Structure 1
Amino acid sequence: MTGDPRATYDRRLRRLRRSARGWTVRAGIFTGAAAVLLPYHGLGLPDVLWAAAAGGSVAMAGLRWTDARALAASPPPPPDPALAADRTRRRLEAVVRRLPGGDGVLGELYRQRERVRLRGTAVVSAWQRLDRAAAALAGLAGRLGGPAEPALAEAAAAEKALRDLAERAASVERAFRLAPDEQLTRSHAALVAQLEEGVSAYEQLVAAAAGYVAEEGRPVAGNAAVGRLREATDLLRGIAIGLSELRTAGPTVP
């Protein structure tokens, strides 16, 4: 994609103005130096050089300011609609990401967009299975610590590779729909089979992660919280029975 003409115009105008200011400062320095040195030394060779530098700087400053004014007076080109829309989209995404749960909302939006784009191809079923497995793994990610943590990086890399594979398979399918070819058909079938196998392996990884979370959170000697609740229940029942017995016994007669 080419650059935005409006942005190119703005950059060029800024460069011209910056250059004009720089030459104006140089012109002031050289002119001031020449004005101070000439009365004391007369017109020697060094003074001629100072005067030439001052005159050249003044001329360059004038040229740069003339170019900058001419460019500023010309109408700026309209911004590229596609680039403007892309900048607007990025700004909206940045705003959404700052909101609570914004990353999840954007991720779901991207998945829905990809699902719609792949609709009607042979990879939709595998793509949906991958979505469900990835969502399940995201729910387990916060509990996969310690020795299971490297599995998250492996799963992320595998998910990206599987999505790229699905994109390739869908592209090949669109191509042989336009121009049926036996070789393309075989290549597409091989890609779909590879995708199905990869998604099945990913699902097995998610199942293993769920098993790890289940076993890692199970106490060694039974559920301690349940045991404490039962002890408290027995204690309260004992107190209640004791109070009931005191009431039914009534006052003792001396």
Structure 2
Amino acid sequence: MADQRSRYLRQVRRLRRGARRWSTLAGTLTGAAAVLTPYHGVGLPDAAWAAAAGGTALLAAWRWADLRALTRQPMPPAETAEQAQARLIATVERFPAGRMAVGEVRRQRSRLALRGSAAAGPWARLDRAAQALAGLAGRLTGAGDEALLEATAAERSLRDLARRVAEIERAVRIAPDESRPSLAAAHARLLAQLDGGVTAYERLVAAAAGYVAEDASPVGDHPSVARLTEASDFLHGVATGLAEFRGAAEWTRAAH
């Protein structure tokens, strides 16, 4: 997936190559028609040569016109490093494995940013719970869909709150003495909110796991158990029948 500048330059090169190719072909056909026509007069083959020469010359003119129109347009600006990184990440995230890898890198980066902060513990708990919920997401159908949407919004809000707690914690360290008590109180309040929110999120994940477990638990034995029992009984009956048949054949042979 190329950027706009690369696509522009590639299109210019493609039009230039096409214009040169058609110009060369038009010149060749025109020269052939000019040389062959006087020898044989104007006939059907000469008309074909002339038509081919005219057609290729027209196509060459169109290609040169397209090239001039394109080169009159301003060239797109060069791609910045941030845009290149975003484009690369978007390309990688198109694949499931790439999406998982990018998500893991982002989690590790966020964890490193919170290292040494009081928000690191709740963040790690939230991360574990979010991964557990991601594994259950494909089975949360029906009534579980709404709970999954709420969990996604809550996770985003809690992660933002954790980053805010870490930022305030860094500000407390450099704040003057007269401002430090109020900042410390705000930090403690937000940290308590974060801890309570993560606890509620963990309870939601536990409830989702219980929902999936109950939704997958049939009344009585699992259907696979019943099918295996039926198959075992069938094979046991076949084996018993073969044994009886073999015994009857041996008795008959002994009798004769």
Name the TM-score class by shorter chain: 0.5 to 0.7
Deviation at 1:251, TM superposition (A): 4.1
Match of 1:215 in 2: 214
One-letter amino acid of the counterpart of residue 191, structure 2: V
Match of 1:141 among 137, 144, 148: 137
SS in structure 2 at match of 1:150: helix
**Aligned match of 2:243:** 244
Q: Residue in 2 aligned with 1:125?
A: 121
SS in 1 for 2:196: helix
Give the unaligned 5+ runs of structure 2.
6-71
CA distance, structure 1, for counterparts of residue 213 and residue 96 of structure 2: 28
Deviations 1:52-78 (A, max 9, x none): xxxxxxxxxxxxxxxxx9xx9xxx9x9
How does 1:33-182 map onto structure 2 within 5 Å?
Answer: 84-179=80-175, 181-182=180-181
Query: Letter of the aligned partner of 2:233 in structure 1?
Result: D
Which position in structure 2 is the counterpart of 1:190? 189
| 1: CA distance, partners of 2:196 / 2:129 | 14
Match of 2:226 in 1: 227
CA displacement 1:118-172 (0-9 Å, x = unmatched): 1110000100110110111111111111112111110011001101110111011
In structure 1, the partner of 2:203 is 204
Inter-partner Cα distance in structure 1 for 2:215 and 2:204: 16
**Per-residue displacement from partner, 1:223-248 (whole Å, max 9, x unpaired)?**
12101101110110121122123324
Per-residue deviation, 1:178: 1.4
How many aligned positions are there? 178
Distance 1:99 1:157 in 2: 24
| Counterpart Cα distance in 1 of 2:172 and 2:138 | 43
Distance 1:126 1:154 in 2: 19
Cα separation, 2, equivalents of 1:206 and 1:97? 26
Secondary structure of the 2:220 match is coil
Aligned-residue sequence identity (percent) comes to 54
* In structure 2, C-alpha distance between the alignment counterparts of 1:154 and 1:103, rounded to whole Å: 22
Query: TM-score of the superposition, structure 2-length normalised?
Result: 0.65
Cα distance, 1:183 vs structure 2: 1.5
How far apart are residue 209 of structure 1 and its match? 0.4
Alpha-carbon RMSD across the aligned residues, in angstroms, is 2.2
Q: TM-score, normalised by structure 1?
A: 0.65
Structure 1, unmatched stretches of 5+, are: 1-6, 8-68
